Chain A
């Protein structure tokens, strides 16, 4: 219990729109332990980014309605004053975004932007901040960091910018690093390097990492635990090995089947499960995966609760009584390969 560094309970995010309120996140609850890499997967629009923005309190839309508790080391983030929250952001919980092309201010050097964060949070002087920024850039594997410090974002490649972003994010040694699809905009070899870098970070600094991704391949490489999101809910979560070996939820199974081969080009988006996720305003009654689920049955017109199976949780009526036929099939498929 107490080694949970972040505890999210019943996080619900909705927006007032012209068509009435729409719920984007519905009762999202999960924990992050110190030093672990939690991976959040799901198709586009499932609410992965919304979850991370809610944790950071970065949802600025005045029409947003947010409820639930987010406890960081026991403090409830939604209850903090704007000032206290600011002290936390970038210092305790840092974030990197998907598109390193646009996420850095174009008119300042990357070094200045990294130093700025340390000067604000750690009160460092200009010289010290510069020295430490250069060190960080070097650690992130940026060649010639001394010169890189004075380069503007547009001088650097996507991979280098993402490294600079990561350098900035970890500059104040945060306890949690939220990475929202940090590799999606990058090409494959660079992706692998960035993932290596994140793993090194965890090893060296012991920070927890929440890694948001589309890519089950990424999940199988670096995650300790996996959360699967579908239409604003967490529909399955558990340790990576459990979840990948014996998925309980048909949606997770669909994602698993879409893991690209270990060799060769990884597709940018997951090969799709037939159909597409429902729009936030048009989610079906009962299990929201029902229209696309090959196993749906009468019970599925109700909303499935999270069923527990050892340390694995799944929101599917099939999981009520443990393993299913398709799990065995999957195992056979695996051994056949």
Chain B
């Protein structure tokens, strides 16, 4: 057990190292992406450029630059922005994390509940009009781009219908911490939650529907019927229990990616100061320290989610432990 954990941890460090090197090379060493030019500004004289280059250490060999960057990011934690001088990277990331966590966690509750319910209902009514219309609806959900849904939501709740009783409760864009005002926190997040869930509700409902109807073709469901079990028991204890394995691994990966900054569009549209928006701003300004930090951060969550999914998988699917 301890060995497995250690191996996991080692894998994680290794992957993060690899990603950091790649990201570093892309942003610092690609020809034409000279960071000092950006820092010095558009009308910089060659002297100023040279000065910046020395001040920021861009004249040093790449591996030294990489080492210093990593040292300042992880050990000293005093890495500062290239764009907003003096803004420290690590506290900014730590500040953005709870926002993203709140957003993704709330959305996950919604999409799991709705996605699983829809998948089950569609399977129970498989072949009927109910099944078909639900699956069509789910497909629509999958096909709608998040930023479009978000913008429409904003249009409806912030301007068009904001003055009606329906949406007058919706606060302006932005984020309020839970500890400041729980009710305001909830109100600012409800609409982003639903916006972010739409895609996943559709996706999970369709995947579950497919997986469940596959289960229903299996011999063991016939056995369960032959045993005289009720339909609901067959669904929950036999078909769904088996399909959950697929769904869970999907969920882990999606959740990890979203916490790692994958909710970027939702955060930007609703002006939520989370990791996604931080990444977005960093990319817009080509603010390299921030880019490196957010890349590392999201890698961490994606790899962590992967590890957790593997553990959960072995726990849900008894066939897995033996295969390894």
Contact = CB atoms under 8 A, between A and B. Distances in A.
B230 A56 contact: no
Contact of A107 (B224, B225, B318, B322): B318
B7 interface: no
Contacts of B316: 107
A211 interface: no
B228 A91 contact: yes
B16 to A, nearest CB: 34
Contact of A95 (B127, B226, B245, B322): B226
Interface residues of A, number: 31
A105 B242 contact: yes
B218 interface: yes
Interface string A308-322: 000000000000000
Interface of B: 127, 218-220, 222-230, 233, 237-238, 241-242, 245, 316-319, 322
A89 B245 contact: no
A89 B228 contact: yes
A104 interface: yes
Contact of A89 (B219, B227, B237): B227
A99 B218 CA distance: 11
Contacts of A139: none
Contacts of A104: 220, 223
A86 B319 CA distance: 30
B271 to A, nearest CB: 44
A117 B227 contact: yes
Given A97-B222, A154-B322, A105 B227 contact: no
> Which A-B residue pairs are the 4 nearest by beta carbons?
A90-B228, A89-B228, A90-B227, A102-B219
Given A60-B225, A103-B219, 8 more contacts: A62-B127, A89-B227, A90-B229, A102-B219, A107-B245, A120-B229, A154-B322, A165-B223
A152 interface: yes
A120 B227 contact: yes
Q: Considering residues A91, A103, A168, which has the most beta carbons from chain B within 10 angstroms of its beta carbon?
A: A103
A88 interface: yes
Interface string A269-303: 00000000000000000000000000000000000
A160 interface: no
Nearest to A56: B226
